[in-house]
């Protein structure tokens, strides 16, 4: 068999293999994304912030724009993807923030997904109002707030805590942060409320681990725009604090409670 024949055979095999590879590549490629306004808006966000996590894209009250909730922020993107605005959208006739209203609606929906069994609850026998508080057991104002838990309950306010370790879940060393471990121990304690109150007084909980919601609650806080603790939300999803005294909190929940205080 001649050398020329071998060369021709090898060339033919290579051509067949290359053709098969190209055909397979064509089959495996995802279909092109339809150029709908929503997809254009999504592509605009991802082009500007490739690591952004887009939670929701809806029509904006402002004609020609879409409202985007992404990575703890609300922004507005034109339907053609040419313009992006970051800031409050104000109804000039009513003098109200439509951005705040959108946040409240979204937060109310997302917070409702967290079962009470995953929260640490301090409540009076028959609460009139309920607040959700993202908390860190080491933050000074969180401790001051919890010192007054009996006063909040006396005003008819149930306080439901979610975990939000300020140092995050994983530290720069690639290991779980100390405050994350501490909050896991609290959420895994036989008596969560006692362990929580003790930690607020500076006493370290007994180290213990279990299946727990601490990381999920931390991630939820990021999604809802939490940047510090305490972060307090009323039943309608409105953020009212920061630390509030019992009197201030009562006034705030009466203004925003779905119970109509």
183 and 92 in a single domain? The answer is no
120 and 63 in a single domain? The answer is no
58 and 92 in a single domain? The answer is yes
| pLDDT for residue 113 | 97
Q: Which CATH number goes with the domain that contains 89?
A: 3.10.450.70
Torsion angles phi and psi, residue 114, rounded to 5: -85, 115
83 and 129 in a single domain? The answer is no
| pLDDT for residue 233 | 97
What is the domain extent for residue 174?
A: 116-256
84 and 123 in a single domain? The answer is no
| pLDDT for residue 4 | 42
**Residues tagged active-site:** 136, 139, 142, 166
With contact defined as beta carbons under 8 Å apart, do 136 and 142 qualify?
Answer: yes
CA atoms within 13 A on the CB side of 202: 2
With contact defined as beta carbons under 8 Å apart, do 76 and 67 qualify?
Answer: yes
Tens of pLDDT, residue by residue, the chain (261 residues): 443 433 343 333 334 343 444 334 444 455 556 789 999 999 999 999 999 999 999 999 999 999 999 989 999 999 999 999 999 999 999 999 999 999 999 999 999 999 999 999 999 999 999 999 999 999 999 999 999 999 999 999 999 999 999 999 999 999 999 999 999 999 999 999 999 999 999 999 999 999 999 999 999 999 999 999 999 999 999 999 899 999 999 999 999 875 444
Total domains present in the chain: 2
| pLDDT for residue 241 | 87
Instruction: Write out the two tokens for 179.
Output: 């405050």
Instruction: Write out the two tokens for 258.
Output: 């779905």
Torsion angles phi and psi, residue 103, rounded to 5: -60, -45
| pLDDT for residue 258 | 57
50 and 139 in a single domain? The answer is no
| pLDDT for residue 33 | 61
Among 220, 215, 221, 160, which Cα is nearest to 192's? 160
51 and 149 in a single domain? The answer is no
| pLDDT for residue 15 | 40
127 and 75 in a single domain? The answer is no
Distance CA 111, CA 220 (A): 8
With contact defined as beta carbons under 8 Å apart, do 254 and 129 qualify?
Answer: yes
> Taking the mean position of all CA atoms in its chain, how far away is CA 107?
9
What's the residue count for the chain? 261
Does the residue 105 lie in any domain? no
53 and 169 in a single domain? The answer is no
Residue identified by tokens 């609300």 is 74
Separation in Å, CA 53 to CA 135, 169, 222, 226? 24, 18, 11, 15
Among 230, 232, 239, which Cα is nearest to 106's? 239
């Amino acid at each position: 068999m001649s050398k020329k024949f071998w060369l021709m055979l090898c060339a033919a095999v290579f051509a067949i293999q290359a053709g098969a590879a190209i055909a397979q590549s064509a089959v495996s490629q995802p279909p092109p994304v339809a150029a709908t306004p929503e997809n254009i808006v999504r592509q605009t966000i991802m082009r500007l912030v490739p690591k952004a996590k887009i939670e929701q894209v809806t029509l904006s009250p402002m004609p020609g724009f879409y409202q985007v909730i992404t990575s703890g922020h609300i922004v507005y993107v034109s339907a053609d993807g040419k313009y992006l605005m970051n800031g409050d959208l104000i109804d000039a006739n009513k003098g109200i923030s439509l951005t705040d209203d959108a946040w409240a609606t979204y937060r109310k929906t997302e917070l409702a997904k967290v079962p009470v069994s995953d929260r640490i609850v301090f409540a009076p026998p028959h609460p009139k109002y309920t607040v959700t508080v993202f908390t860190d057991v080491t933050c000074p104002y969180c401790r001051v707030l919890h010192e007054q838990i009996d006063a909040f309950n006396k005003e008819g306010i149930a306080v439901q805590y979610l975990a939000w370790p300020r140092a995050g879940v994983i530290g720069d060393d690639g290991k779980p942060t100390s405050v994350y471990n501490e909050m896991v121990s609290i959420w895994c304690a036989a008596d969560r409320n006692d362990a929580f109150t003790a930690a607020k007084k500076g006493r370290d909980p007994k180290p213990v681990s279990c299946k727990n919601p601490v990381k999920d609650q931390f991630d939820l806080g990021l999604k809802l725009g939490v940047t510090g603790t305490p972060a307090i939300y009323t039943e309608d999803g409105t953020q009212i604090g920061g630390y509030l005294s019992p009197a201030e909190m009562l006034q705030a929940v009466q203004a925003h409670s779905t119970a109509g205080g």
